[in-house]
Copies of this chain bind each other. A is one copy, B any other.
Amino acid sequence: MRIVVLAGGIGGARFLRGLKQAVGPLARAEEAQITVIGNTGDDIHLFGLKVCPDLDTVMYTLGGGIHEEQGWGRTDESFSIKAEMKEYGVGPEWFGLGDKDFATHIVRTQMLGAGYPLSAVTEALCARWQPGVRLIPMSDDRVETHVLTDIDGERKAVHFQEYWVKLHAAVPAHAIIPVGAEQAKPAPGVLEAIAEADVIILPPSNPVVSVGTILAVPGIRRAVAQAAAPVIGLSPIIGGAPVRGMADKVLAAVGVETSAAAVAKHYGSARGTGLLDGWLVDTSDAAAVAEVEAAGIPCRAVPLWMTDVAASAEMAREALAFAEAVRA
């Protein structure tokens, strides 16, 4: 079974850990292959280094190096370099990179500087982490999500990380602009993986700045829409609020209500011009099932809180079972 997942950072990574457990016995027998197409719109150059927060969160989470409570960055981390940067007066201070994390960015930057594309670099980094999935960046080309916002009364586009991490999404987002996406090409293997997939999953990642950015790379949305495999999504919204993060802010920017049903309709039905063959909402949003199905999207209500790996694995099993059901 070939499974393709379009993933952002924390939500995607935690779902993937569950998915791995769910297909575990299969995976070990190489009968299941998970290909993760990772969002790189969050990527940022800091201190002259290329930082790929979402790819790293997936890699560290699946490879056993993640800071569990935080959800990003390395466990048992130290911050010598950050302190030194402050002494040198070199910013930004708001992006907290630990020493171990710096090592990843140094290796990545060195390889990129030597001419390797990001997909090859990611593969090389994964040779250490052994995430148990094939992790491919959505594109080897630079795509950088910017947010049009108001700062000190002036309309201004800032890097997504500045909006998210520095400003805590506490200023209005008028538009989300994946700069460079129009010129970007899917990384080698992305379109092939989608075309050959048995199941395509949109995990509970941010539908705008994570999955939305991946779909903004020309060719990827069409490939997902045209894929033979059923496309199953899991709602990142439970009870009218994001499970984690500030998805409500960026949903508002694209005119989508913060509800499980609205996000489903934002992705759209595969029977129409959309993507979804199935949508999972949390049991607490069971009332939304009818609304989603009325939009032509088969829908089920199951527990969607990723409280631990077992809960995430159960969600993954529900998604795979749903895929089987809609396929039949």
Contacts and interface: CB of A to CB of B under 8 A. Distances in A.
Interface of A: 47-49, 78, 80-81, 84-85, 87-90, 98-100, 102-104, 106-107, 109-110, 113-114, 125, 127-128
A102 to B, nearest CB: 6
Given A47-B110, A84-B100, 9 more contacts: A47-B107, A48-B109, A48-B113, A78-B99, A80-B99, A81-B103, A87-B128, A88-B107, A102-B102
A128 B114 CA distance: 31
Contacts of A87: 128
In the A-B complex, list the 4 residue pairs whose CB atoms are closest, starting with the nearest: A84-B103, A48-B110, A80-B99, A81-B103
A114 B103 CA distance: 21
A49 B84 CA distance: 16
A48 B47 CA distance: 13
A47 B106 contact: yes
A195 to B, nearest CB: 32
B100 A81 contact: yes
B107 A85 contact: yes
A113 B110 CA distance: 13
Nearest to A111: B48
Contacts of A113: 48
Contact of A48 (B81, B102, B106, B127): B106
Chain A interface, DSSP helix/strand/loop, else mixed: helix
Nearest to A102: B81
A99 B81 contact: yes
Contacts of A107: 47, 85, 88, 90
Contacts of A104: 84, 88
Contacts of A102: 81, 99, 102, 106
20 contacts: A47-B107, A48-B106, A48-B109, A48-B113, A48-B114, A49-B106, A78-B80, A80-B80, A80-B98, A80-B103, A81-B100, A81-B103, A85-B106, A88-B103, A88-B128, A89-B127, A89-B128, A90-B107, A102-B102, A106-B106
Best-surrounded residue of A47, A107, A109 (most CB of chain B within 10 A)? A107
A60 to B, nearest CB: 12
Contacts of A47: 106-107, 110
A155 to B, nearest CB: 28
Nearest to A82: B103
Contacts of A89: 127-128
Contacts of A106: 47-49, 81, 85, 102, 106
A113 B107 CA distance: 17
Most chain B Cβ neighbours within 10 Å, of A48, A104, A114: A48
A49 B88 CA distance: 17
A47 B114 CA distance: 11
Contacts of A110: 47-48, 90
A78 B47 CA distance: 20
Contacts of A100: 80-81, 84
Contacts of A128: 87-89
Contacts of A103: 80-81, 84-85, 88
A56 to B, nearest CB: 13
